[in-house]
Amino acid sequence: MRTSAAALLLLGLLSPCSQAQDKPKTEDKPKAEVVATTPVKVQIVFTEFDSEKKVKSLPYTMYLNAPDAPEVRSPWVRMRVGSRVPVYTGGDKGSMTYLDVGTNIDARSGYTAEGRLLISLNLERSWVEGGVPVPVTKSDATRSESDTGNFREPIIRNFRCELDLKLREGQPIESTIATDPVSGKVLKVEVSFTTLK
3-class DSSP string for 30-49? CCCCCCCEEEEEEEEEEEEE
Taking 80 as the threshold, does the pLDDT of residue 126 lie above it?
A: yes
The closest alpha carbon to 167, from 195, 192, 197, belongs to 192
What confidence score (pLDDT) does residue 104 get?
97
CB environment 2-41: b (16+ within 10 A), e (fewer): eeeeeeeeeeeeeeeeeeeeeeeeeeeeeeeeeeebbebe
The angle at the Cα of 196, spanning 194 to 197, to the nearest 5 degrees, equals 135
Taking 90 as the threshold, does the pLDDT of residue 3 lie above it?
A: no
Taking 50 as the threshold, does the pLDDT of residue 185 lie above it?
A: yes
Assess contact for 56 and 48: CB atoms under 8 A: yes
Taking 80 as the threshold, does the pLDDT of residue 52 lie above it?
A: yes
Query: Which of 17-21, 99-103, 111-115, 124-128 has the lowest average pLDDT?
Result: 17-21
Query: Which of 58-67, 69-78, 134-143, 164-173 has the lowest average pLDDT?
Result: 134-143
Taking 90 as the threshold, does the pLDDT of residue 103 lie above it?
A: yes
Q: State mean pLDDT over 134-141.
A: 57
In angstroms, the Cα distances linking 106 to 25, 103, 145, 161 are 43, 10, 49, 11
Number of Cβ within 10 Å of residue 111's Cβ equals 21
| Amino acid letter, 128 | V
Q: State mean pLDDT over 160-167.
A: 93
**Backbone φ and ψ of 12, nearest 5°:** -65, -35
